[in-house]
Amino acid sequence: MGLITHSDERRISAAIAEAEGTTSGEIVCVIAGESDSYLYAPFMWAALIALLIPWPFIYLTWWPVQWIYALQLAVFLGLLAALFPKPVRLKLIPKSLQRTRAHRRAVEQFLVQNLHTTEGRTGALIFMSVAERYVEILADKGIHSKVPPGTWQEIVDRMTQKIAGDRTAEGFVEAIAAVGKLLAEHFPPGSADPDELPNHLIVIN
């Protein structure tokens, strides 16, 4: 993926373990390469433009229908090849739709990683989707209800500043520490405090 090295993963894992040592809550960190392939976009745009191509030639020329069809097919295949690479493909997708897909992936990971099953409902997910440049913190109701509105977004904003400065690992470490501090404030370690979820960074290509 390029943003995170093996040493960065170890730093993040250590930060999770350190933060969870101060609380009965659980923190999971996930990086997804993308939240959707958006493969439909190049096909859709190439097809729409190719459908418009024949009309000027039908009404303004005497070209045989076989020539027009061949041109239409060539335009479709050419546009498909030009629009298919991921960086170009992403530019075809509105930012609002990218955010929607990334948020949906974050919710999916919250459930997949069993954060909704933790004792006391104190699980927190720090989620990043690289292609969409999207970061979100999702917290279960046990801790979310105790945190003032806007707190999670403040942590996300600081984290995205670090990521923008090519300090992704540092952004994760600081976000983990901030989330851990909130969890520790409201949910200190208990006498029976099982470590229910993984303490390492989860990377999804």
Segment 25-75, tens digit of pLDDT: 899 999 999 999 999 999 999 999 999 999 999 889 899 999 999 999 999
145/58 Cα distance (integer angstroms): 64
- Residue 168: give its domain's CATH number: 3.10.310.50
**17 lies in some domain:** yes
Asked whether residue 131 falls in the same domain as residue 148, the answer is: yes
Q: Are 32 and 130 in contact (CB under 8 A)?
A: yes
- 107-161 confidence digits (pLDDT tens): 999 999 888 888 888 899 999 999 999 999 999 998 999 999 899 999 999 999 9
Burial of 107 (0-12, 13-18, 19+ CB in 10 A): middle
For the chain, give the longest Cα–Cα distance: 86
Asked whether residue 13 falls in the same domain as residue 46, the answer is: no
Give the pTM.
Answer: 0.88
**179 lies in some domain:** yes
120/112 Cα distance (integer angstroms): 18
169/173 Cα distance (integer angstroms): 6
Asked whether residue 110 falls in the same domain as residue 150, the answer is: yes
| Full residue range of the structural domain in which residue 77 is found | 40-91
What phi-psi label fits residue 114: left (phi over 0), alpha (psi between -120 and 50 degrees) or beta?
left
Asked whether residue 73 falls in the same domain as residue 13, the answer is: no
